[in-house]
Amino acid sequence: MWPLSLCIATLVAIWVTYWVYRWRNPKCNGKLPPGSMGFPLIGETLQFFSPNTTSDIPPFIRQRMNRYGPVFRTSLVSRPVIVSTDPELNHLIFQQEGKLFQSWYPDTFTEIFGRQNVGSLHGFMYKYLKSLVLNLFGPESLKEKLLPELELAASRNLQTWATQSSIDLKEATATMIFNLTAKKLISYDPTKSSENLQKNFVAFVDGLISFPLNIPGTSYHKCLQGRQKAMKMLKKMLEERRREPEKAHGDFFDYVLGELKKERSVLTEEIALDLMFVLLFASFETTSLALTLAVKFLSDHPKVLEELTKEHEAIRRNRENQCSGLTWKEYKSMIFTSQVINETVRLANIVPGIFRKALKEIEFKGHTIPAGWAVMACPPAVHLNPSMYPNPLAFNPWRWGGVESNGGSKNFMAFGGGLRFCVGTDFTKIQMAVFLHCLVTRYRWKPIKGGDIVRTPGLQFPNGFHIQLEDKV
């Protein structure tokens, strides 16, 4: 008779073997897309987050596309995931929001953004929050209020930067955009506040797309600490506003407080604070990355810079009053500028993956996506597809001539698509256009150092991008 310890060891070995087998071969009523689930629990998470310096399709995605095809399975942060580099499937994912798919992000993301963040809400609640945001960032607000404020902020900051020996453009534009947005959202003034709100978001950004290991010293831990501090500040502001209800600040926080006070309001304090947090982050980090990359591209492509400058100098020449500011009509006339912005965000691929969850079992091109599985649409694979974009790694704004790209499409998903097409798209584009207008009409610049790109898998400038600005006159 076997010793008890040997029996237990044998049973454990059998159970572990079965568990590993089931991990590598998930149950499915049909035929799963090909792929590997990686190691138990961690899956292929380490490979996914592995840093790389390529501007091409990330190695993690490229290797699996070559091996398995445009749709494959993997496991990230303990969840089974179908990765789609197929434009047809991506389009289906966006168009069937709420029917076949719904917005979903890993638990690590919801820990960072808040469990009641706008990306995790669905149906009526999502549409309601979207309408709130459009009150601030919608076309009417951009046209009537934000356009002149954006131009003033860009002009003042560029003027200050031109007096310095060099500036880190990524850091400088992030501060400029954050201060402007924080003022519109919560009347935040860094010169009058005892706490540095932006500093918390810097810590937050460093760990946003990192391996989710929550122990002291890791980027993810620092990220969560940054969120905690920022949320503490926002909650303190909310309590101060409630103590002085008669004092109006004329910002988005006032509007949100008004919604909270309404009888039977669907808005809760938790949702409101998470919304403010997400807006503060989204408004400055992605746009500053795109702007920095745009200026880097212009530095490396003098013909593009010449064409862009020509467009903006023509706008200034055609004004009756040379001292007047940008008008909405002038902004809408910036055709080549729009092409430069589209090409920049196409190559930037700031968002490496857009997550959804399958609400029911879905058949696609002979494969089955099981209900409950996560699905990740991969923008880089679409934006760098040579069949759609010849010589895809080349910075060529002229490729956008005559192409309508105000919304998402099968081949352009820099701002998402479908019902969840980014509500801040117009705000981002106008910020970039106004900044470029002020930059190319009044200044020349030269790169000093930095400009190297690392993806982890999100876009980063680890050494910044330092430039020296000087007045043209």
Per residue in 72-85, pLDDT (tens digit) is 999 988 889 999 99
Q: What is the pLDDT of residue 375?
A: 95
422 annotated ligand binder: yes
Give yes or no for residue 212 having a pLDDT over 90: no
The better pLDDT of the pair 416, 366 is held by: 366
Which pLDDT band, with edges at 50, 70 and 90, does 24 fall under?
Answer: low
Q: What is the pLDDT of residue 208?
A: 63
How many separate domains does the chain show?
1
Q: What is the pLDDT of residues 315-372, one digit of tens each?
A: 999 887 777 889 999 999 999 999 999 999 999 998 888 899 999 999 999 999 999 9
Q: How confident is the model at residue 232 (pLDDT cuts 50, 70, 90)?
A: confident
Average pLDDT for the chain: 86
8 A C-beta contact, residue 442 and residue 273:
no
Is residue 254's pLDDT more than 90? no
Residue 128 has pLDDT above 90, yes or no: no
- The answer as to whether 288 is a domain residue is yes
Q: What is the pLDDT of residue 196?
A: 73
Residue 129 lies in a domain: yes
Q: Is the pLDDT of residue 282 over 60?
A: yes
- pTM for the model stands at 0.90
Is 99 a member of any domain?
no
Q: Cβ neighbours of residue 194 under 8 Å, at least 6 residues apart?
A: none
Q: How far apart, in Å, are the Cα atoms of 378 and each of 58, 210, 381?
A: 10, 17, 6
% residues pLDDT > 70 (the chain): 88
- With 60 as the cut, is the pLDDT of residue 71 above it? yes
Confidence band, pLDDT 50/70/90 cuts, at residue 235: confident
Residue 278 has which token pair? 């997400």
CATH number of the domain where residue 253 is located: 1.10.630.10
Q: Which residue has the higher pLDDT, 450 or 218?
A: 450
Distance CA 313, CA 393 (A): 29
* Other residues' Cβ atoms within 10 Å of the Cβ of residue 25: 10
Domain-embedded: residue 425: yes
- Residue 375 resides in a domain: no
pLDDT tens across 147-158, in order?
999 999 999 999
Residue 136 sits at the vertex; the CA angle it makes with 412 and 262, to the nearest 5 degrees, is 125
* pLDDT tens digits for range 370-393: 999 999 999 999 999 999 999 999
Q: Given this model, what pLDDT does residue 250 score?
A: 81
Reduce the DSSP state of residue 43 to 3 states and report it.
strand
pLDDT at position 129 over 90: no
Whether residue 119 has pLDDT greater than 90: no
Q: What pLDDT does residue 34 have?
A: 94
pLDDT of 231 above 80: yes
Label residue 203 by pLDDT band (50, 70, 90): low
pLDDT (0 to 100) of residue 132: 80
Q: Is there a domain that residue 3 lies in?
A: no
Average pLDDT over residues 284-298: 92
Buried b (16+ CB within 10 A) or exposed e, 251-279: bbbeebbeeeeeeeeebeeebbbbbbbbb
Whether the link from the prior residue into 51 is cis, omega within 30° of 0, is no
pLDDT confidence of residue 16: 60
Question: Is residue 373 one of the residues assigned to a domain?
Answer: no
Tell me which residue range forms the domain holding 449: 117-351+391-465
Query: Has residue 42 got a pLDDT over 90?
Result: no
- Per-residue pLDDT, averaged over 209-231, amounts to 77
